[in-house]
Copies of this chain bind each other. A is one copy, B any other.
Amino acid sequence: MALEHAILVSLAERSASGYELARRFDASIGNFWKASHQQIYKVLGRMETGGQVASELVEQDGRPDKKVYAITTSGRDELSRWVGTPTPAEALRSEFAVKLRALHLADPATLRADVGRRRVQHTEKLAYYEASRQKFYPDPAAVSPEALGGYLVLRGGMLAEQAGLDWCDEILGQLDTVDGAVR
């Protein structure tokens, strides 16, 4: 049940409405954990019943009212209990890998185009992470303890994207040599 914990982490950083949380899950946190607004509203409801979060109705003019959720003491307790818990190994799951395995059934040009597209996506995401890093953590040696988590998560994303990029290059290289050998 990790979405609940992701929400707790986000609300511990700053209280927010369901809508605002959904926006965050599109950006910062969402780079490593996606969630739709529908799902977030549902889980927030459950968590309020459970007492981990509390909401306050905020009226706005010219905009719909919103329910701003804050983490409660009980939620904070649950969160620190959870961070002290060992994290189980995460299985990697890749549709692309499954498809790669059946590459001999594919048209080489189509496949090359697909890998190229993927390569561009990795490059763009990497550039985006790098921009965030420069903006928020200009000096990696001087990151405050509170900000260290965010920095390290970003670094993890960068390493993952770089690995994906290297993989694409290796695939493209192999496709070329095979083609060359066939001709």
Contact = CB atoms under 8 A, between A and B. Distances in A.
Interface of A: 2, 5-6, 9, 12, 29, 31-34, 79-80, 82-84, 86-107, 110-111, 113-114, 117-118, 121, 141, 143, 145-146, 148-153, 155-157, 159-160, 162-164, 166-167, 170-171, 174, 177-178, 182
A104 B162 CA distance: 27
Nearest to A103: B149
Assembly stoichiometry (copies): 2
Nearest to A162: B163
Contact of A159 (B89, B148, B166): B166
A102 to B, nearest CB: 5
The prevalent SS among residues of A at the interface is helix
Given A156-B167, A167-B155, A79 B102 contact: yes
B95 A87 contact: yes
B102 A178 contact: no
A91 B166 contact: no
Given A155-B170, A171-B152, A83 B103 contact: yes
Nearest to A156: B167
A178 B151 CA distance: 13
Contacts of A162: 163
